[in-house]
Amino acid sequence: MLGYLKFAVIFLPWEIIVLPILAYLF
């Protein structure tokens, strides 16, 4: 559970940055 939370904290900023870029490109 703790490892998943750490992964979520690391992955969330990338999701916020990358998803709009992908939505813009595609």
pTM: 0.39
With tokens 């998943």, the residue in question is: 4
Fill in the amino acid letter for 12.
Answer: L
CA distance 6 to 11: 9
Measured CA to CA, the distance from residue 1 to residue 6 in angstroms comes to 9
pLDDT tens digits, one per residue of 1-26: 788 888 888 888 888 999 999 899 98
Q: How many CA atoms lie within 13 A of 10 on its CB side?
A: 6
Handedness of CA 15, 18, 24, 26 (dihedral sign): negative
- Altogether, the residues listed in the chain come to a count of 26
pLDDT of residue 17: 92
